[in-house]
Amino acid sequence: MKKPLRFYLLLSFLGLLFAPVACVDSFSDPALENTKEQKLIVDGLITTDVEKFKVTLSKSKAPLDRKSPDIIANANVVIVDNLQNKYELFHTTQGVYQTKTLQRAIVGRSYKVMIDLLNGEKYESSPELVKAVPNIDLIKDNFVDAIDVNGQRTPYFDVTAEIQDSPEKRDYYRWDWVNYQYLVYCENKLSNGAAKTLTRTKCCEDCWAIKRTYGEIDLSDDNLFNGKKMSQLIAKVPFVSRRPYYMDIGLSSISEAAHQYWRTVKAQVKNVGGVFDNPPVTIKGNIRNVANPDEQVFGFFGASATTRKQIYVLRSKALSVPLIPAIGARVIFAPGCSTVCPEGDFKSRVKPKGWNDDYNTLFYEPELEL
């Protein structure tokens, strides 16, 4: 799951507001000229995974407001493919629209979203073609006992993935990964007194903590590797434990337009805040107002084929000592157990694909559950 598009757009808005625009004489942007005008934000991605199609709609706040966008809960939202099949989406909560049944995008078809707002305004995206995606052939890890500029150890494992690119020219990809960690303690309560204590309560049932690639935009293309094997750095896994580190790595095919869009977003987010950064640009997505194409609309509706592969980084094979964090408090173990394992983005009771139960408590360090 990627971080909501509104996160990136907020940073971009702040960049538009505070950037040193005098660096380029011709620079001008409507977002600067009328910061009080609300903009439509559309965030949607459908894939070949079996799941409900989902699109999120909201209206931006003015940048000076610094609040969350206003949700749109009363729109008509339909996804249409090139065979004129229609998939109606219904509002659930917080501006999220979903189909009532499970769907999946089909490779070779193109899809677009059509949006009718209550005020009569109509919007639609450009069609997005679902291109085939190659399998992830191999995942490798390599231990690096690094030293930072201050002479401190910062050991980690480089994790890389390999794919065989298709002979077809100009393929574009986006990568993501998810880490699951088996929890022994579901509740950890730290006191605020001078003598800090940490009260820990065991889980009543299996529970996994989830770490996702929020805030990261990891892109690649075959410009230099068309039809050849490609290698991609996925993550640097910190060596803070000898415990096996589970990763579920995903690869998605994306269009050239999506690649350009996310590359611009990535550059914009990276540049926010620096006085010597390049001045920001308006991030143009693939959504337009049907009657007024000049209206500025934020967001992107994408369609992708996806594939995933799992790996355990066996950190115990490193011939070095991990940097296990200190708790810094007196630990108290509470009686009984806790049922606090809410299903969601950050915790789950569902065993992840490819999970090895033998690794649940192997080289277990409770400090890492804080």
Residue 31 has a pLDDT of: 42
Q: Give kind and range of the element (H or E) at residue 6.
A: helix 5-18
For residue range 75-104, list pLDDT tens digits in order. 999 999 999 999 999 999 999 999 999 999
Task: List CB contacts of 184: < 8 A, sequence separation 6 or more.
Answer: 202, 203, 361, 364, 366, 369
> What average pLDDT score do residues 338-366 get?
85
Residue 15 in tokens: 């960049």
Listed residue (76, 124, 81) closest to 103, CA to CA: 81
- Residue written as token pair 């030293």: 147
* Residue 27: predicted pLDDT: 27
321/236 Cα distance (integer angstroms): 17
- Continuous H helices in 206-349: 256-271
Q: Which of 40-49, 103-112, 272-281 has the lowest mean pLDDT?
A: 272-281
Q: How many CB atoms lie within 10 A of CB 75?
A: 19
Residue 196: the pLDDT is: 85
Distance from C-alpha of 117 to C-alpha of 41, rounded to nearest angstrom: 12
pLDDT category of residue 36 using cuts at 50, 70 and 90 = low
Of the pLDDT bands very low, low, confident and very high (cuts 50, 70, 90), residue 57 is: very high
Instruction: Output DSSP code: residue 52.
Output: -
> Are the beta carbons of 186 and 341 closer than 8 angstroms?
yes
Query: So what's the pLDDT on residue 327?
Result: 76
Which tens digits make up the pLDDT trace of 130-179? 999 999 999 999 999 999 999 999 999 999 999 999 988 799 999 999 99
Residue pair 151/230 in contact (Cβ under 8 Å)? The answer is no
Q: For 225-244, what is each residue's pLDDT tens digit?
A: 898 999 999 999 999 989 99
Predicted confidence (pLDDT) per residue in 205-229, tens digit: 999 999 988 778 999 999 888 989 9
Q: Percent of the chain beyond pLDDT 70?
A: 83
Q: Look at residue 284 in the predicted model and tell me its pLDDT.
A: 83
Q: What is the pTM of this model?
A: 0.83
**Helix, strand, coil fractions of the chain, as percent rounded to 5:** 15, 40, 45
Give mean pLDDT, residues 261-276: 73
The DSSP H or E segment spanning 8 is helix 5-18
pLDDT at 35: 41
Encoded amino acid at 303, one letter: A
Residue of 366, 159, 358 whose CA lies nearest to 244: 358
Q: Which residue has the tokens 């750095």?
A: 233
Write the CB contacts of 362 (distance below 8 Å, at least 6 apart in sequence).
243, 244
Helix axes 5-18, 256-271, angle to 10 degrees: 50
pLDDT at 194 (0 to 100): 75
- The encoded tokens of residue 261 equal 């869009």
| pLDDT, greater one: 30 or 124 | 124
DSSP count for the chain of H helices, then E strands:
3, 23
CB–CB of 175/216 below 8 Å?
no
Residue 301: strand pairing partners? 44
